[in-house]
Amino acid sequence: MNFDTLTPELPRRTFLKVATASGFALGAFPLAILAQGTPPAAGLKATEQPSAFVRITPDGIVTVTINRLDFGQGVQTGLPMILAEELDADWSKVRSEHGNANPAYVDPAFGMHLTGGSASIKNSYTQYRELGARTRAMLVSAAATQWNVDAGTLRTENGDVVGAGGKKLGYGELAEAAMKLPVPEKVALKDPKQFRIIGKPTGRIDARAKSSGQQRYGIDVRLPGMLTAVVARPPVFAAKLKSVDDSAAKAVKGVKAVLRVPVDRGGEGVAVVADGYWAAKQGRDALKLEWDTAGVEKADSARLLASYRELAGKLGAIKYNADVSKLASAPKKISAEYTFPYLAHAPMEPLNCTVAFTGSAAELWMGTQMPGLDAFAASNVLGVAPQAIKVNTQMAGGGFGRRAIPTSDYVVEACEVAKAARAAGLDAPVRTLWSREDDIKGGYYRPMHLHRAEIGFDEQGNILAWDHVIVGQSILKGTPFESFMVRDGIDSTMVEGMKEPYDVPMRLSVHHPQVNVPVLWWRSVGSTHTAYAMETLLDEVARATGQDPVAYRLKLMGDKHPRHKAALQLAVDHSGYGKRALAPGRAWGVAVHESFQSVVAYVVEASMDKGTPRLHRVTAGVHCNLAVNPTSVEAQVQGAAVMGLSMCLPGAAITLKDGVVEQGNFGDFTVPRITDMPQITVHIVPSAEPPTGIGEPGLPPLAPAFANAVAKLTGKTPRDLPFKFA
């Protein structure tokens, strides 16, 4: 989800709108702030208070609380690096932990609890620098008081305050006194030239735990007396139950209860609560359920495609309105239709949420991208005050957007199960687990899209007119975000990435059909499909006019996009493009795209192996301004590239037949295997400017770069994702 288009005055208004739409009780927030244990300093917000973010123990260990979910992107290391830099901490003694739904941990730019939009480092860069600087100043003041000297005569170094003659006091010795001092409102930050932690390749804090199998995730939560639930959900979204025969399920050893519960979108389900997952699953398998699907739409991929094609032949809501009258007389033309299927997020850790409900309060454990929103959703379901809800954010094994749902679907469902279990006499925490099949069939997909383009150009590749229509569901309609991110009938996330950075005369219109399929942002959101259409069409124009695709892009960019040019040139230079001879049967492919204020360019090498495209080598040029941790930037781009590759592989689609999702596991929903992996190298454009997003920008240009190489080999641009070859 790209929040870059929000105007500067929106954060407070945005939060209020989201709060109101979600049933937030804003009066609870001061209670949560006071619960920090330290009164707010005059003139400072909760997000600026060191006491909420830094804990230093007598042995000098510095624990930094992160205001985001870490689900593999590395913020559990990146944010502490930023704070530790200004704190002058000993990095070997820095640790990190997740925050919760406390208002101190909202995104300081957006005003709500959020991990998304590739904004974690970008939006909290200055915040965490200032937190570190404030903590450092308080430690220095404490040392000055103890030594009875002027604080201006002291300096800090690697976890110590250093005085005259080299005498030292460790941060651990000073922390208790320091944290009782007034918090300075104004602090001086380092010149980037002084950085010794920021910008240096750094191993992740959680690497040892993850590589040794010791890392605990939401799915690993274990509480005394805890029960486990699995839910039988309707095969068609929003369907209800006609009849339930649970006799065989109740006979399964370990099953404690079989409960009818509401599920997402107004549907009904059956929860089987048991001693453990296996008993709960066996109980669910033994259920005999009859579903009433008569009153709900049964979405069908084939029928949807036909209806989308019909819509694409009509003018929709206008985003750009350039004159396209020159299409008729253009010397050269391209007419293209692109199709993009529904896509599942399919994180390695399926959805889960553990709820301990007492009747008057509740505690939740889950990996969540929106803990504040989920806390208020839980309060609504459980009928308790928002301040009686405690959220324990857990490390998550991936998410790609699926753990940031405006409806809080999996949290609401888990709370419904816990409430029903308590009503049935089960006084115990309940962990609701989704299986892999539940996760892939459970909805909230990247929407299906269809693009239709008509382009007219001359012999020199000058674009004379470009008429473009996009058809696809809105992911924001009906959510708290609709009021400020759907404008003039257009979901802004669906058109992001169109037109820029190329100065082309485009008429762009949009249709948003209503379909009974729950949809959501998916890593890089609209750019998953807009980058593909834009970059393959431009490559096709370059080939049709005999121009080098790199030179053609640079010409279209003109002088207005130095970051795009720098990223593209870096990828070109390191790949050997135009200089190195490729192996027989291989071809180059190029694409460049900006999303979340960062630019990623790919130069790839691909071949055709018995009619199947193969990707061999990927060279990335990345412009994300200052790379706080180059190691994490490299990992994020590599991971995003692999996810981009997944969109191309046969079988990488979610399809529906008469309302039922046809895929259920990795046997029929393709993800890249090790045999699909290309060699990936990542190169970062040097910069000292404040960092921009990096979790998602590596995904969009991979598929079009691959497709452009395939087009050179076959003479035909792949118009459908995943690739289809007879």
Q: Tens of pLDDT along 412-447?
A: 999 999 999 999 999 999 999 999 999 999 999 999
Instruction: Supply the pLDDT for residue 31.
Output: 29
Between CA 307 and CA 310, with CA 309 as vertex, the angle to 5 degrees is: 65
- Using a 10 angstrom Cβ sphere, with 0-12 exposed, 13-18 middle and 19 or more buried, the burial of residue 225 is exposed
Does residue 306 form part of some domain?
A: no
Instruction: Encode pLDDT of 180-208 as tens digits.
Output: 999 999 999 999 999 999 999 999 999 99
Q: What's the pLDDT band for 347 if we cut at 50, 70, 90?
A: very high
Do 287 and 318 lie in one domain? The reply is no
Do 360 and 329 lie in one domain? The reply is no
Do 287 and 180 lie in one domain? The reply is no
Does residue 423 form part of some domain?
A: yes
Last residue of a domain, one of 211, 242, 265: 211
State mean pLDDT over 304-309: 98
CA 439 to chain CA centroid, Å, is: 17
**Residues with Cβ < 8 Å from 165, sequence gap 6 or more?**
none
Q: What's the pLDDT band for 41 if we cut at 50, 70, 90?
A: low
**Which of 20, 113, 65, 25 lies closest to 388 in space, CA to CA?**
25
Do 409 and 551 lie in one domain? The reply is no
How many domains does the chain divide into?
Answer: 3
- Euclidean distance between the first and the last CA atom of the chain, given in angstroms as a whole number: 35
Is a pLDDT exceeding 60 seen at residue 711? yes
SS3 618: strand
**Which of 274, 195, 288 lies closest to 243 in space, CA to CA?**
288
Is a pLDDT exceeding 80 seen at residue 322? yes
Instruction: Encode pLDDT of 459-503 as tens digits.
Output: 999 999 999 999 999 999 999 899 999 999 999 999 999 998 998
Beta bridge partners of 431: 228, 354
Does residue 648 form part of some domain?
A: yes
Does residue 724 form part of some domain?
A: no
**Residues with Cβ < 8 Å from 696, sequence gap 6 or more?**
117, 118, 523, 524, 525, 527, 595, 596, 640
- The amino acid sitting at 468 is H
Instruction: Encode pLDDT of 80-111 as tens digits.
Output: 999 999 999 999 999 999 999 999 999 999 99
State mean pLDDT over 343-349: 97
Does residue 307 form part of some domain?
A: no
Instruction: Supply the pLDDT for residue 1.
Output: 55
Does residue 4 form part of some domain?
A: no
Instruction: Encode pLDDT of 226-247 as tens digits.
Output: 999 999 999 999 999 999 999 9
Least confident of 37-41, 219-223, 269-273, 518-522: 37-41
The residue range of the domain holding 393 is 218-294+351-433
Does residue 155 form part of some domain?
A: yes
Do 166 and 271 lie in one domain? The reply is no
Do the bridges between strand 389-393 and strand 430-433 make them parallel or antiparallel, or are there none, so unpaired?
unpaired
Beta bridge partners of 310: none
Is a pLDDT exceeding 90 seen at residue 288? yes
Q: What is the per-residue burial (b if ≥16 Cβ within 10 Å, else e) of 184-212?
A: beebeeeeeeebebbbeebebbbeeeeee
Instruction: Supply the pLDDT for residue 596.
Output: 98
Is a pLDDT exceeding 80 seen at residue 620? yes
Do the bridges between strand 430-433 and strand 227-232 make them parallel or antiparallel, or are there none, so unpaired?
parallel
Instruction: Encode pLDDT of 651-675 as tens digits.
Output: 999 999 999 999 999 999 999 999 9
- The amino acid sitting at 302 is A
Instruction: Encode pLDDT of 521-576 as tens digits.
Output: 999 999 999 999 999 999 999 999 999 999 999 999 999 999 999 999 999 999 99
Is a pLDDT exceeding 70 seen at residue 384? yes
Instruction: Supply the pLDDT for residue 725.
Output: 76
**Which of 345, 525, 528, 512 lies closest to 445 in space, CA to CA?**
345
Do the bridges between strand 389-393 and strand 362-366 make them parallel or antiparallel, or are there none, so unpaired?
parallel
**Residues with Cβ < 8 Å from 138, sequence gap 6 or more?**
50, 178, 179, 181, 183, 184
Query: Mean pLDDT of all residues in the chain?
Result: 94
Do 547 and 667 lie in one domain? The reply is yes
Beta bridge partners of 317: 510
**Which of 365, 538, 522 lies closest to 445 in space, CA to CA?**
522
**Which of 67, 17, 25 lies closest to 46 in space, CA to CA?**
67
Do 389 and 510 lie in one domain? The reply is no
Between CA 42 and CA 48, with CA 45 as vertex, the angle to 5 degrees is: 105
Is a pLDDT exceeding 50 seen at residue 12? no
Over pLDDT 70: what percentage of the chain?
A: 94
Over pLDDT 90: what percentage of the chain?
A: 93
Q: To which H or E segment does residue 456 belong?
A: strand 449-457
Do 155 and 79 lie in one domain? The reply is yes
Do 404 and 520 lie in one domain? The reply is no
Instruction: Supply the pLDDT for residue 471.
Output: 99
Inter-residue contact 68 to 396 (CB < 8 Å): no
Is a pLDDT exceeding 70 seen at residue 28? no
CA distance 191 to 41: 26
Do 495 and 573 lie in one domain? The reply is yes
**Which of 543, 529, 546, 538 lies closest to 564 in space, CA to CA?**
538
Distances, alpha carbon 347 to alpha carbons 352, 366, 440, 633, in Å: 12, 14, 9, 20
CATH number at residue 683: 3.30.365.10
Instruction: Supply the pLDDT for residue 43.
Output: 80
Last residue of a domain, one of 211, 230, 254: 211
Instruction: Encode pLDDT of 126-179 as tens digits.
Output: 999 999 999 999 999 999 999 999 999 999 999 999 999 999 999 999 999 999
Is a pLDDT exceeding 60 seen at residue 639? yes
Do 40 and 103 lie in one domain? The reply is yes
Beta bridge partners of 274: 228, 255
Distances, alpha carbon 524 to alpha carbons 7, 184, 342, 701, in Å: 20, 38, 14, 11
- Using a 10 angstrom Cβ sphere, with 0-12 exposed, 13-18 middle and 19 or more buried, the burial of residue 215 is middle
Instruction: Supply the pLDDT for residue 7.
Output: 36
Last residue of a domain, one of 394, 411, 433: 433
Do 477 and 404 lie in one domain? The reply is no
Do the bridges between strand 679-684 and strand 612-623 make them parallel or antiparallel, or are there none, so unpaired?
parallel
Does residue 357 form part of some domain?
A: yes
Instruction: Supply the pLDDT for residue 246.
Output: 98
